[in-house]
A and B are shown apart, each in its own frame.
Chain A
Amino acid sequence: MSLWLDRYRPTTLAKLDYHKDQATRLKHLVECGDFPHLLVCGPSGAGKKTRVMCLLRELYGPGVEKLRIEHQTLTTPSKKKIEISTIASNYHIEVNPSEAGVQDRVVVQELIKTVAQSQQLESSTQRDFKVVVIAEAERLSRDAQHALRRTMERYMVTCRLILICTSASRLISPIRSRCLSLRVPAPSDEEVCQVLSSVCRKEGLSLPPELARRIAEKCGRNLRKALLMCEACRVQQYPFTADQNIPEADWEVYLRETASAILSQQTPQRLLEVRGRLYELLGHCIPADLILKGLVAELIPLCDVELQEEVVTAAARAEHRLGQGSKAIVHIEAFVARFMATYRRFVEDGLQGLGF
C-alpha cells in the first residue's frame, strides 16, 4: 500500500536496517520488564518514530498496530475549548501537543492524567503500564515542560512517557534528567544506499549504485527524503540511469535561487526582490530558521574566507533575534542586507586592490 516509505517501513526491532546494536539494546531493555521514560532525539528522517513503534510492538505485541484516531476536546481553565486529535491503540496513545499552540500545558496535564489514571485491563498478560508518546516534544512550551515534570514522577506506576524530539537542547534539564536519553543518529550515506537498494529489490527494480549514492548525498541523510526521491525518480524515469535528474523539494530549489540572487547583485532593489521571495517561502510555512540556515549554507561556500566569519556572525545574530522576536521577515532581511553590504564592500575593495 501507499508510498514506498510507508510500505517498507520495518515494524519490529529485529527488522530495523541500521543502528542494530541500539535495537538489540532496546530489546534487552524490554525483556528486563521494567522500562524508564524515554527521550528519543535525532534529526528528521532518522527513523525515530519507526524505532519507537518497533519498541512498542516489542512491548505489547501486534495489538499496537491497531491504531485509531481519536478527537478529544479539552477545556482550559479559562473555559476555552481545545480540539486535539490523538492516535491510540489499546496500549499507547500518541499526542502532538504543539497542535494546541500555547495551550499545550493543558493538553499535557489532562491527557496524561486521564491515561495514567486508568489501569491496564489485562494486567496478567500485559505490562502494567501504558505508554504516552509525545511527538515534537521540542515544541512544548516552557509551561508545558514544567507541568510535565511533576506528572512524570507522579504517574510513574501506570504510565511511561516517550518524548520524541529533534533536539534535546530545547527541553529543560529536569525533564532530560528524568528520561533515558536515546539518540537516533541520521543514517550514514552507506546505510541510506543500503536501504534504498533493498527497497528497490523488494519493488523488483534495479537501482544503479551510482544513483543510490547520489540520492544519499542529496537527501542530507534524511531517509524519508531519500525514499521519496527514489520513488520520484522511479516515476520520472525507469529504467534508472546513473546520471538521471533527482527531483527535489520545491522550496529548497527556490531557496537556492534566492541565495544566488543575493550573490549576483547587491542593491536595495535586489533586496526588495529577495524580500518577495522570502515572503513566498514564509507563506509556505517554511520555518524561518531553516530559511536562514539554507541561505547561509548556500552563501558561505561562495564567500571568501575573510568574509565567512563575518557572515556567520551576522547569521548567528539574526538567528538569535529570530528566536527572540516575532517577525521573521525583518530578521532574515536584516541578515541579507548585512551580507549584501559586506560582500559589496569586499568586492569593491578587491577591485581597488587590483588597481581600478
Chain B
Amino acid sequence: MKTIIVISTMLITLLLGKKRRVDSARKLEFWHLDVSAKDSDEPRPSACVGQPDALSSEIHGPQAKKVADCWERVLRRPPMSDDFISVTSSEGRRVYLRLRREGEGTIISDRHCTLRGSDRGLRLLGVPFQQLKEQLADKQRRKILEELEQHETAISRIIEQDIRDSEPTDDVGEDPCRDEEEVEDGPRGADAAAAGSFLWVDKFSPRHYMELLSDDHINRCLLKWLKLWDVVVFNRERRAPRTHSAMRGQETAGGDPRGSRGRGQWEAHRGAAMNRRGWVERGGGGWEGSKERGKGGWRGRGRGGGDGTWYKSKAQMMDEILEEELDDHKRPKYKVALLSGPPGLGKTTLVHVVARHAGYNVVEINASDDRSPEVLRTRVEAATQMRSVLGAAERPNCLLIDEIDGAPLATINALLEIVNRKDGKEKPAAGTTRKKERKKKEGGLLVRPIICICNDVYVPALRQLRQQAFTIAVPMTMASRLAQRLTEITKCQGLRADMGTLLALCNKTDNDIRSCINTLQFLHSRGEVQLSLGLVQSLQVGTKDKHKGLFTIWQEIFQLPQTKKSWMDKAQAQLGESDHDRASKSLENSRFHRILQLTCHSGEYDKISEGLFANYPNVRTNDPQMECVVAALDWLSLQDEMASMVARRQAYTMLRYMPMASIALHMLLAATRAPRLNYPAAHSELLARTARTLALTDAVMGEARSTVRCYTNGRQLLLDSMSLMLDILSPRLRPVNTQLYSTQEKRQLQQLVHTMVSYNLSYQQERTPDGNYLYVLEPNLDDAARFPGVPHPPSMPYAARQLVSREVQLEKMRRTEAALHARNPQEQSKPNLEETKDGETLDKEKKKKGAALKSHERKLEDTIQAVTVVDKPEKDFFGRIVQKKEKEKFTMAGIRYPVLEADAMQRRVGRAIGHSDVWFRFNEGVTNAVRRTIYIRDIL
C-alpha cells in the first residue's frame, strides 16, 4: 500500500511541477496520467517506468495533441460545467482536475489498451487502486465481524450456561453436534490457505440444519418425517404440539433475527424438558439460523411467499402425509423417503445433516458399493438392527441409499421386501407389553428409517418403490442463496468477486452447488484472485453435460432466445475486446449452435422431430404464404428419410445430419412465445389403431371359410370389401316372424346368414353403460371400415339384429353337425339303426358293456335289459319259480305267444320303458334323469 501511494505521489508531483503533498481523489485515471506525464516531462525516473525509448518515440508524435488535451484538464480554478477534483499541494496551492466524462477520449483508452497489450510492464500497480481500497475496507469489516462473533459466542456461552444450570441432572457437555461445530468451524475461516489439498465442496459443506442451501420446506419435511420415527427408535412418545411448536420456533427463528434469540432460548427450555438430545441441537440450530438468515436467507423467503398459492397446495399435501397416524408398530406410514432431483442440489448433504440433526448415525450405501440383492439385504439388516459401538455417541443408524436409480430391479425389490416385511405373530400382542414387542421387532421388522436418493425418479425400476415411499422432489437451489454462500466462500478463500459474477456462475452451472464451488476452487488453484464477469463467461469448465427434457428442447426450438441470452451476448461482447472472433459471432450463428448442441445432447432425434411435427402448427408465425410451413415439413420429411436410411441400411453417416431439421425449424418457426406444447402421442396412437384394425381383419380372415380366404386377403378386404359388406349385411328386414316372410325375403335372409357365417361374423348382445342392450357385430367391422362424418344407410334395428343373430347361430350349429356327420358317416347311421332295430338284438350288444357303464351313460336299452333281467328269476316265497304257471295260463288262454310275452313284460316293467321316447329314472344324488337323443336336424 505504501509503495503505491509513493508512486502515485510521484506522478502527481511530476504533473504539477514542485508540488509535494497530495490529496487523494475519488476516481483517478492512473494510466492516463501516467502516459501524459511520460510524454511531457524530461526528468523521467527510469526506476518507475521501465519504458523502452523506441516505444515512447513512436507514440510521441501522434500523442502530442492528446497531451495538450490532458493539460486542459488541470485547471487553476474550478471548471464551470464538468465534475472536478481538487488537489492541494503541500504549499497550499490548489489545482482542479477536470474529470473525463464517460465516452470521452475513447481513442486514448484505445491506445492505452494496445499499450497494455504490448507491454505488461506499463502497469504500475499490480492491483488496481480501487481493489486495494476495497481490500482495506474488507479487512476492517472482517475485523469488526470477528469481534462481533466473539461477542456473540460469549453471549451464547452465557446463555447455554444458564440453560445447563436450569437442568442440572443432564450433563450434555459432550454433545457431539456442538463439538463438531466448534471443531469444524475453526479451520473454515482461519487457515483457509493451508487446506488447499481437499475439495472445497467438502470443506464448505453445511454442518448444520440451518446452513442448508436447499428449500426450507423440503428440509423441514424430511426432518419431520425422520422425527416420526422417534417413537420407535428413541422410544419417545410422539407429541404433535411439541413438533409443531418446535418447527414453528425454527421457522420464526429463521425469519425474524431479532426475535429469534429469546424465542430460541424459550424453545430450548421446552425442548430440554421433553428430551435430552433434541434440544441442544435445536438450540444450536436456532443460533445458527439467526446468523444465517440475517445475512442471506431473507431473499429466498420473500420469493417463496411470492408464489405462495401454488406452493401451498403441495406443501399442505406433504404436511398431510406427515400428520398421518403411525401404523401398528408405531412406525410412520411411509417407511422409506425418496429424494429426487438433478445432481448438485445437495441432496446427500441434506440427508446427512438432517439425519445427524435428528440424532442418527448415517450409514451410506451408494453406487460404488456392491448392490446385489443379497449384499444389500445383509447391509440393510446390519444397518437397521445394529448400533455403532465405536464412538462416544451411541446413535441409532439411519440408512442412506444413494444413487438408487442406478440399482438393479432385483435390489430394489429386495429393499421393498425388507420394507414391507411383517411380523406375523405380532397381532395379539399389539400393545400389551413393550418388551415383547421390542423382541419381535428385532426379528425382522424394519425399525430404522431408510432414505433413498435418486436423480431420476421415473426410472422403471423405481416404479414400485415410488408408490411406497415418501417422495420428495428437491427443487432447484435459489440462485440468490447459492450466490450468497459463494460470496462467503470467496471471502474465506481470499477470492474477490462481486455478486453479479457469482450469479453468472450460478446461472452457468444451473445452480449446481457442487459445480459452482468446484469451479471456484479451480480458479483459485489457477491463481486467479479477481473474478470478473468475463472470466466466468469465457470459462469452459463448470458447464455440465446437460441432459434436458424433451419439453425443454421443444420449447427452446420454438422460442426465440430470451433476454437472458442477449445478456450473455453482451457479456461475450465485453469479453470480445480481446477475442474478435467471438465478438463477430452473429446472433444467428449463436442460435444455430445452441440448437445444434441442444439436439445433439439429447440424441433422441426421433422423439424430438415427432414433437416438432406435432406442435409446429400451433406456433404463431407471420406466414400467410405458408412458405415456412412448407420448408419446415420438407425438412421433417428429409429427416424421416435419413432416419429410415440409418435404420434400414445402417447408413450411420447420416446420423450427423439428424439435428439439422430441428435447427431449420428453429430458424423458420421460432417465435417470441413458444406455443403450448403437447406430448406427441399421435404416432403411438396411430400404431395402436393400425394394430387394432389389422387384428380385426385377421380375426375375420382367420376364421373365414377356406373358399373365401382363398380368393381374398386382408388388405383387399379392408380396401374393397369391408365397407360395402357392411352395407350388404344390413338389409331392411321386416320385424315380423320369419314364418311370415315371402319367399323372396326368406331367400334374402338366408343369403345374409350364409354370408355372415362364411365370413365368421355374428351379432353379440352387449350391455351399454346406460343399461340398454345392443347387438354388436363380432368382430366389429364398424371399427375398421367406418369413418366419422360419412353418411351411412340406417343400420338394422335391434329386433332384426336379434333375428339375424339367432339365424346365424342356428346355421352355425347346422354346419358343425353336418361337418361331424361328414367326417364319420357311421355315427350318423347308428341312431337310425337303433331306431329301426328291435330291442333284443341291441340288448345283446349292450349286455357286454352294460355292467361297466356308468349310470349316466346308460341308455334306454340297458335299462330295459336291467329291468327284465331283474324280473326274470321271479320266484315265490319258497324260491320256486312262479313264472311257468303264468305262462301256461296264457297259453291256455290261446293267445299267440310272442304277443303274450311282450304283454307280460309290459306288465312287469310298466308301459313307459321301451315304448315312450321320454322316460324317467331316479338316481340318487344325480339328476340326469330325463334324456333323449335329439339331433339339431330333428328340431330345425
Contacts and interface: CB of A to CB of B under 8 A. Distances in A.
Interface of A: 1-3, 5-6, 9, 44-45, 49-50, 53, 67-69, 85, 87, 94, 96, 135-136, 222, 224-225, 228-229, 231-232, 235-236, 247-251, 253-254, 257, 266-269, 271-272, 275, 279-287, 290, 318, 321, 324-327, 329-331, 333-334, 337-338, 340-341, 344-345
B720 A225 contact: yes
A59 B689 CA distance: 43
B175 interface: no
6 contacts: A1-B758, A2-B754, A235-B730, A249-B719, A275-B617, A326-B647
Nearest to A232: B727
Given A283-B693, A334-B634, A235 B787 contact: no
Which among B630, B685, B713, B759 has the highest number of chain A CB atoms within 10 Å? B630
Interface string B749-772: 001001100110000000000000
A285 B617 CA distance: 25
A224 B721 contact: yes
Nearest to B792: A250
A285 B686 CA distance: 10
Contacts of A284: 689, 693, 718, 784-785, 787
Contacts of A85: 702
B860 to A, nearest CB: 39
A266 B723 CA distance: 31
Interface stretch (B165-173, B234-242, B355-363, B621-629): B621-629
B804 to A, nearest CB: 13
Which among B625, B716, B728 has the highest number of chain A CB atoms within 10 Å? B728
B789 A67 contact: no
Interface in B694-712: 694, 697, 702, 705-712
Contacts of B732: 235
B451 interface: no
A195 to B, nearest CB: 15
Nearest to A229: B724
B713 to A, nearest CB: 6
A231 B629 contact: no
A341 B785 contact: no
A283 B724 contact: no
Contacts of A6: 707-708, 711, 758
A251 B711 contact: no
A334 B636 contact: yes
A272 B702 contact: no
Nearest to B619: A268
B724 A247 contact: yes
Among all A-B residue pairs, the 8 with the closest Cβ atoms = A283-B689, A334-B633, A67-B706, A228-B724, A325-B640, A232-B727, A249-B723, A254-B787
A228 B728 contact: yes
B683 interface: yes
Contacts of B930: none
A282 B690 contact: yes
Contact of A250 (B641, B645, B690, B787): B787
B790 A327 contact: no
Contacts of B793: 236, 247
B135 interface: no
Main SS class of interface, A? helix
Given A266-B626, A268-B623, A334-B630, 13 more contacts: A45-B716, A249-B785, A250-B785, A251-B787, A253-B790, A254-B787, A268-B626, A284-B689, A284-B785, A287-B715, A321-B640, A325-B640, A337-B633
Contacts of B788: 280
A321 B790 CA distance: 30
B640 A331 contact: yes
B644 interface: yes
A224 to B, nearest CB: 5
Given A224-B716, A225-B724, A250-B790, A50 B711 contact: yes
Interface residues of B, number: 67
Contacts of A330: 613, 633, 636-637, 640
A325 B630 CA distance: 18
A69 B706 contact: yes
Nearest to B617: A272
Given A6-B758, A87-B709, A228 B721 contact: yes
B706 A68 contact: yes
A67 B710 CA distance: 8
A50 B793 CA distance: 31
Nearest to A245: B793
A344 B625 CA distance: 7
A46 B343 CA distance: 66
A231 B754 CA distance: 14
B633 A253 contact: no
A337 B635 CA distance: 13
Interface string B456-492: 0000000000000000000000000000000000000
A3 B728 contact: yes
Contacts of B702: 85
B708 A224 contact: no
A338 B647 CA distance: 27
B643 interface: yes
Which among B638, B683, B711, B786 has the highest number of chain A CB atoms within 10 Å? B711
A53 B710 CA distance: 9
Contacts of B712: 49, 224
B410 interface: no
Interface string B630-670: 10011011101101110100000000000000000000000
Given A50-B711, A324-B644, A334-B634, A285 B613 contact: no
Which among A235, A275, A290 has the highest number of chain B CB atoms within 10 Å? A235
B808 to A, nearest CB: 13
B731 interface: yes
A324 B641 CA distance: 6
Nearest to A325: B640
A281 B682 CA distance: 13
Which among A3, A68, A136 has the highest number of chain B CB atoms within 10 Å? A3
Nearest to B621: A268
B725 interface: yes
A326 B643 contact: yes
A254 B723 CA distance: 12
Contacts of A44: 716, 719-720
Contact of B725 (A87, A228, A251): A228
Contact of A235 (B626, B627, B719, B727): B727
Contacts of B685: 279, 283
Given A2-B708, A224-B716, A235-B731, A279 B682 contact: yes
A314 B719 CA distance: 25
A176 B709 CA distance: 27
A2 B712 CA distance: 14
B639 to A, nearest CB: 8
A282 B683 CA distance: 10
A322 B613 CA distance: 16
Given A247-B793, A257-B789, A321 B637 contact: yes
A142 B629 CA distance: 36
Contacts of A321: 637-638, 640-641
Contacts of B784: 284-285
